[in-house]
Structure 1
Amino acid sequence: MKKQTSFSTKGNRVDVGPLTIQRMLPNQYTNKVGPFVFLDYVAPVIKETINKNGMGAHPHRGIATLTYILQGEVEHFDSAGNRSEIYSGGVQWMKAGNGIVHDENFNYDSQTDSKYIHGFQFWINLPARNKAEKPAHVTVQAHEVPYKNLPDKSGWLKVIIGNYEELSSKIPNYSRQFLYHIHLEAGKKFLIQIEDKFEVAAFLITENVMLNEITFQKNELVEFDSNAGEIEIKNTSEDATDIMLFGGEEYTEPVVSEGPFVMNYQAEIIDAYRDFYAGKYGEINLATKI
């Protein structure tokens, strides 16, 4: 049985400096898809200059952030002393845990001739038992992302989070969850079976695509029902296309979010702000920047 679609949306536009961002989650229909509570899509843009001043240092608590850069270069630095760079196709994951301050630079990829920036940032809600843990950080370069060719020369699949068949991501999981980047050649299709009570959504990056025989538009986020069933992705265009497919088991604990914090109760949000203003999240050591 094919899964039914629950809604589709193109999100809301938010401009951050030179970047044009479509905020896909939360939206008017839902606040989450499995453990995913936030999704910003950084639409393709040409960036002529290199920024080393950051986008603006800010705190987080209770979540993990994940940046997947399709094209470009992202520098990360935080108050736990982590500092790293990823390039086109790379992934950065940061567990905010009980509190951290971080900042990022989004630039064009200095290792290529392209000046384009294009990518995603997700927030992944942590179970209550993990929200009080110490922060952590993982960097995965493009060549380290698990990858496999699909049958019949139909394309390929990358596992950003979770597992697919024999592939397994280096990104830690605290619940059953997945994030796949699927590339389909013109006229090809991909079929995946989703288990019961999994919340799942697809984001169409480059072309219009048919999902279970319904055509959706480029840059749409499409969520499916949570019943067990199949999702068939069919590329009916004359060009290759890319799709992000993500989701996981339903987050059943209470969710209270405010600003950069996602907790289980309002009192915990108050504590998060109090601890931040008391300096308990630490400071970014500017010496760790390039």
Structure 2
Amino acid sequence: MSITHQRMFSRQLFVGLALLLTLFATNRLAYGWNKPTHMAIGAIAYHDLQTASPQTAGRVAGLLKQHPYYQRQWLPLMDSLQLPAAQRDEYLFMLAARWPDDIRGRDPYHDRPTWHFINYVYAPKQGVARTDTTLATGETILQAYEQNRQLLTSPSPDSSKAVSLCWLFHLAGDVHMPLHTTALVDPQFPQGDKGGNLFRIKVMMSSPTSNLHSFWDGMLLHTDTYASVDSMAVGEQHEFARNQLPQLGNSGIMAWSKESFQLAQDNAYRSNTLQPGTSQEGSLLPPDYVATVRPIAQRQVALAGYRLADELVADLGS
């Protein structure tokens, strides 16, 4: 490669990084995983069911077609994208997984802001890390998940079951995002740091100040096209096959939330060695932080997809 080409490549790489960091910085109200990553979790569940229980995949897709948004939004979207029939059921899984974020602040009838997380208390300066103590926020992700599982297997109308399915898709993803289970409590954050949303960081010295939650939220994927999401899902299943994940033996959302809480302590906050910045200036992440936590995030996404598939078989596979 010539020096001119090297300079052009370096310039393109810098621009790409700047755009990525801008996405991190502007996502002030961070959710769980971002929407493309939630879609990938849905796609992983779809691929897994197509192999292990295609009848369950068909039943789930059939219920999702009874969703209140199917006729007025999802079907026209698939038509406009000219998705072939072979891809439409998978795309429905993708849309279901992101729907609870799509409606945040837009659909008060279905929106449930507190359902997306639980705030287990992590107060390392006091030696406290407890899953039997939470900051009060209203109904938590644990309660919401169980409520929607019960509704799914009840005599409720299929349209109601379709809404519950979307919540199960989404919450299975959210609970595997470590910062959706954690509130760091210390003198800087006496009321908790809202799962890292108040924990101000910078990825590089030249990058804008962002927050820890946004960083984790958008670490893996930023494009929500069918092709990009499906490619991520296929890659995740190749990289993290079921037989490589002994954690799959831990069943139930309570167990999953405790796994994520431990990951938050050990990896997201680095056993309380990661220092937050101020509201004006974020603290610089350690140089090895991204390389260390990215594989953890990828594994969590794979676990979420497989566990979601298992739950769907348990509830709808008979």
- Which TM-score bucket, shorter chain as reference? under 0.3
TM-score, with normalisation over the residues of structure 1? 0.27
Which one scores higher on RCO, CA 8 angstroms, separation ≥ 6? 2
Structure with more of its chain in helix, by fraction: 2
| Higher alpha-carbon Rg | 2
Structure with more of its chain in strand, by fraction: 1
TM-score, with normalisation over the residues of structure 2? 0.25
